Protein backbone atom coordinates (compact mmCIF):
# COMPACT_ATOMS: atom_id res chain seq x y z
CA UNK A 1 0.00 0.00 0.00
CA UNK A 2 3.04 2.29 0.25
CA UNK A 3 4.62 4.50 -2.40
CA UNK A 4 8.08 3.05 -2.89
CA UNK A 5 10.99 5.12 -4.21
CA UNK A 6 13.52 2.33 -3.79
CA UNK A 7 13.61 -1.45 -3.41
CA UNK A 8 15.24 -0.99 0.02
CA UNK A 9 12.62 -1.30 2.74
CA UNK A 10 14.05 -1.94 6.26
CA UNK A 11 11.23 -2.09 8.80
CA UNK A 12 12.92 0.14 11.40
CA UNK A 13 13.52 2.88 8.86
CA UNK A 14 9.93 2.69 7.61
CA UNK A 15 8.74 3.26 11.17
CA UNK A 16 11.12 6.20 11.64
CA UNK A 17 9.88 7.84 8.43
CA UNK A 18 6.27 7.22 9.44
CA UNK A 19 6.94 8.70 12.89
CA UNK A 20 8.62 11.78 11.44
CA UNK A 21 5.78 12.29 8.95
CA UNK A 22 3.23 11.93 11.75
CA UNK A 23 5.08 14.54 13.80
CA UNK A 24 4.97 16.96 10.88
CA UNK A 25 1.22 16.44 10.56
CA UNK A 26 0.44 16.57 14.28
CA UNK A 27 2.36 19.79 14.91
CA UNK A 28 0.98 21.45 11.78
CA UNK A 29 4.17 21.68 9.75
CA UNK A 30 2.44 19.80 6.91
CA UNK A 31 -1.25 19.32 6.19
CA UNK A 32 -1.21 16.51 3.61
CA UNK A 33 0.05 12.96 4.12
CA UNK A 34 1.98 12.86 0.85
CA UNK A 35 3.95 16.03 1.54
CA UNK A 36 4.63 14.96 5.13
CA UNK A 37 6.00 11.61 3.95
CA UNK A 38 8.19 13.23 1.30
CA UNK A 39 9.65 15.71 3.78
CA UNK A 40 10.21 12.99 6.39
CA UNK A 41 12.01 10.77 3.88
CA UNK A 42 14.19 13.68 2.79
CA UNK A 43 15.01 14.60 6.39
CA UNK A 44 16.03 11.02 7.22
CA UNK A 45 17.86 10.50 3.93
CA UNK A 46 15.88 7.50 2.71
CA UNK A 47 14.39 6.78 -0.69
CA UNK A 48 11.10 5.12 0.14
CA UNK A 49 7.81 6.17 1.70
CA UNK A 50 5.64 4.35 4.25
CA UNK A 51 1.97 3.71 3.57
CA UNK A 52 -0.59 6.22 4.81
CA UNK A 53 -1.90 3.79 7.43
CA UNK A 54 1.61 3.46 8.91
CA UNK A 55 1.73 7.23 9.36
CA UNK A 56 -1.79 7.18 10.83
CA UNK A 57 -0.72 4.62 13.46
CA UNK A 58 2.17 6.86 14.55
CA UNK A 59 -0.06 9.95 14.45
CA UNK A 60 -2.47 8.23 16.84
CA UNK A 61 0.39 7.33 19.18
CA UNK A 62 1.71 10.89 19.17
CA UNK A 63 -1.75 12.26 19.98
CA UNK A 64 -2.04 9.81 22.89
CA UNK A 65 1.40 10.74 24.20
CA UNK A 66 0.68 14.47 24.06
CA UNK A 67 -2.97 14.55 25.13
CA UNK A 68 -3.22 11.64 27.57
CA UNK A 69 -6.42 10.76 29.43
CA UNK A 70 -8.10 14.04 28.44
CA UNK A 71 -8.18 12.80 24.86
CA UNK A 72 -10.54 9.91 25.62
CA UNK A 73 -12.83 12.16 27.66
CA UNK A 74 -12.95 14.70 24.84
CA UNK A 75 -13.74 11.99 22.28
CA UNK A 76 -16.78 10.88 24.26
CA UNK A 77 -17.98 14.48 24.64
CA UNK A 78 -17.49 15.14 20.93
CA UNK A 79 -19.52 12.06 20.09
CA UNK A 80 -22.30 13.25 22.39
CA UNK A 81 -22.27 16.64 20.66
CA UNK A 82 -22.29 14.90 17.28
CA UNK A 83 -25.37 12.96 18.36
CA UNK A 84 -27.18 16.21 19.23
CA UNK A 85 -26.34 17.63 15.80
CA UNK A 86 -27.44 14.45 14.07
CA UNK A 87 -30.79 14.55 15.86
CA UNK A 88 -31.29 18.10 14.62
CA UNK A 89 -30.44 16.95 11.08
CA UNK A 90 -32.15 13.55 11.27
CA UNK A 91 -34.38 14.20 8.23
CA UNK A 92 -31.25 14.33 6.07
CA UNK A 93 -29.79 10.90 6.96
CA UNK A 94 -26.72 12.20 8.85
CA UNK A 95 -23.55 10.10 9.08
CA UNK A 96 -20.71 10.82 11.51
CA UNK A 97 -17.36 10.52 9.72
CA UNK A 98 -13.75 11.60 10.28
CA UNK A 99 -11.67 11.25 13.43
CA UNK A 100 -14.66 11.47 15.81
CA UNK A 101 -16.13 8.41 14.08
CA UNK A 102 -12.76 6.63 13.97
CA UNK A 103 -11.97 7.44 17.60
CA UNK A 104 -8.60 8.89 16.60
CA UNK A 105 -9.14 12.54 17.48
CA UNK A 106 -6.32 14.94 18.24
CA UNK A 107 -6.21 18.51 19.49
CA UNK A 108 -7.06 19.92 16.05
CA UNK A 109 -10.02 17.63 15.34
CA UNK A 110 -13.54 18.81 14.63
CA UNK A 111 -16.86 16.98 14.27
CA UNK A 112 -17.55 15.94 10.67
CA UNK A 113 -21.07 14.97 9.64
CA UNK A 114 -22.26 14.19 6.13
CA UNK A 115 -25.91 14.69 5.20
CA UNK A 116 -27.79 14.11 1.95
CA UNK A 117 -30.08 16.85 0.69
CA UNK A 118 -30.84 18.58 -2.62
CA UNK A 119 -31.18 22.04 -1.14
CA UNK A 120 -28.44 23.39 1.17
CA UNK A 121 -30.56 26.42 2.05
CA UNK A 122 -33.04 24.11 3.76
CA UNK A 123 -30.23 22.74 5.90
CA UNK A 124 -29.06 26.25 6.76
CA UNK A 125 -32.55 27.18 7.86
CA UNK A 126 -32.77 24.17 10.19
CA UNK A 127 -29.39 25.05 11.68
CA UNK A 128 -30.41 28.68 12.25
CA UNK A 129 -33.70 27.63 13.84
CA UNK A 130 -31.69 25.65 16.40
CA UNK A 131 -29.52 28.66 17.24
CA UNK A 132 -26.28 27.09 16.06
CA UNK A 133 -23.48 29.53 15.18
CA UNK A 134 -22.49 29.36 11.51
CA UNK A 135 -18.91 30.52 11.03
CA UNK A 136 -18.85 30.26 7.24
CA UNK A 137 -20.05 28.22 4.28
CA UNK A 138 -18.46 27.16 1.00
CA UNK A 139 -19.14 25.04 -2.02
CA UNK A 140 -16.37 22.59 -2.98
CA UNK A 141 -16.03 20.76 -6.29
CA UNK A 142 -13.69 17.78 -6.74
CA UNK A 143 -13.01 15.49 -9.67
CA UNK A 144 -12.39 11.83 -8.88
CA UNK A 145 -12.17 8.99 -11.39
CA UNK A 146 -13.23 11.44 -14.06
CA UNK A 147 -16.41 12.42 -12.23
CA UNK A 148 -17.02 15.90 -10.87
CA UNK A 149 -18.79 16.06 -7.52
CA UNK A 150 -19.94 19.14 -5.64
CA UNK A 151 -20.63 19.43 -1.91
CA UNK A 152 -21.75 22.31 0.29
CA UNK A 153 -19.87 22.76 3.57
CA UNK A 154 -21.26 24.46 6.66
CA UNK A 155 -18.79 25.28 9.43
CA UNK A 156 -20.14 25.67 12.95
CA UNK A 157 -18.81 26.72 16.33
CA UNK A 158 -20.67 24.96 19.12
CA UNK A 159 -21.40 26.36 22.59
CA UNK A 160 -18.65 24.07 23.90
CA UNK A 161 -16.21 25.85 21.53
CA UNK A 162 -15.75 22.63 19.57
CA UNK A 163 -15.96 23.04 15.80
CA UNK A 164 -18.21 21.07 13.48
CA UNK A 165 -18.40 20.71 9.71
CA UNK A 166 -21.63 19.66 8.00
CA UNK A 167 -21.06 18.34 4.48
CA UNK A 168 -24.20 18.49 2.33
CA UNK A 169 -24.12 16.02 -0.56
CA UNK A 170 -26.55 14.98 -3.24
CA UNK A 171 -29.03 12.23 -2.21
CA UNK A 172 -27.74 10.27 -5.22
CA UNK A 173 -24.45 9.77 -3.37
CA UNK A 174 -26.05 8.29 -0.26
CA UNK A 175 -25.42 4.68 -1.29
CA UNK A 176 -21.99 5.24 -2.88
CA UNK A 177 -19.21 3.46 -0.99
CA UNK A 178 -15.95 5.37 -0.66
CA UNK A 179 -12.55 3.93 0.17
CA UNK A 180 -10.49 5.68 2.82
CA UNK A 181 -7.18 6.95 1.43
CA UNK A 182 -5.54 6.58 4.83
CA UNK A 183 -6.72 3.20 6.16
CA UNK A 184 -7.76 1.56 2.90
CA UNK A 185 -11.15 0.45 4.22
CA UNK A 186 -14.67 1.70 3.50
CA UNK A 187 -15.68 5.09 4.91
CA UNK A 188 -18.64 3.60 6.69
CA UNK A 189 -19.15 6.18 9.45
CA UNK A 190 -21.89 5.98 12.08
CA UNK A 191 -25.57 6.69 11.56
CA UNK A 192 -27.70 8.15 14.34
CA UNK A 193 -28.90 4.90 15.91
CA UNK A 194 -25.44 3.34 15.59
CA UNK A 195 -23.87 6.28 17.41
CA UNK A 196 -26.50 6.06 20.16
CA UNK A 197 -25.64 2.39 20.64
CA UNK A 198 -21.89 3.07 20.76
CA UNK A 199 -22.36 5.78 23.38
CA UNK A 200 -24.31 3.35 25.53
CA UNK A 201 -22.03 0.34 25.14
CA UNK A 202 -18.48 1.51 24.36
CA UNK A 203 -18.31 5.32 23.99
CA UNK A 204 -14.57 5.51 23.23
CA UNK A 205 -14.52 2.60 20.72
CA UNK A 206 -12.13 2.95 17.80
CA UNK A 207 -13.13 2.15 14.23
CA UNK A 208 -9.89 1.29 12.45
CA UNK A 209 -8.89 -1.88 10.55
CA UNK A 210 -7.72 -4.79 12.73
CA UNK A 211 -4.19 -4.67 11.37
CA UNK A 212 -3.83 -1.19 12.88
Query: Does residue 196 form part of some domain?
Result: yes
Query: Does residue 206 form part of some domain?
Result: no
Q: What is the mean pLDDT of residues 69-79?
A: 96
Structure pTM?
Answer: 0.88
Task: Answer whether residue 5 shows pLDDT above 50.
Answer: no
pLDDT in tens, 40-69: 999 999 888 999 999 999 999 999 999 999
Q: What is the dihedral of CA 36, 178, 76, 51, to 10 degrees?
A: -30
* Same-domain pairing of 25 and 128: no
* Same-domain pairing of 39 and 73: no
- What CATH number has the domain bearing residue 195? 3.30.460
Query: Does residue 18 form part of some domain?
Result: yes
pLDDT in tens, 7-46: 455 668 889 999 999 999 999 999 999 999 999 999 999 8
Residue-range definition of the domain harbouring residue 21: 11-50
* Same-domain pairing of 142 and 171: yes
Query: Does residue 210 form part of some domain?
Result: no
Query: Does residue 154 form part of some domain?
Result: yes
The model's confidence at residue 211, banded by pLDDT at 50, 70 and 90, is low
Query: Does residue 147 form part of some domain?
Result: yes
- Closest to 154 in 3D by CA, of 85, 57, 59: 85
* Same-domain pairing of 128 and 165: yes
Work out how many domains the chain is built from and give that number: 2
pLDDT in tens, 104-155: 999 999 999 999 988 888 899 999 999 999 999 999 988 776 777 889 999 9
* Same-domain pairing of 109 and 42: no
Amino acid sequence: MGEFLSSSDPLSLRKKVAREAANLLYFGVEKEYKQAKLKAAETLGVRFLPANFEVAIEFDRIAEENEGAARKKRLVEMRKQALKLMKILKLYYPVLIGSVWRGTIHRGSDIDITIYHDEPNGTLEVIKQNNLRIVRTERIAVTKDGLKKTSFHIYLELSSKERAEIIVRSPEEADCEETCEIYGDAKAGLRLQELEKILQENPAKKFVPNWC
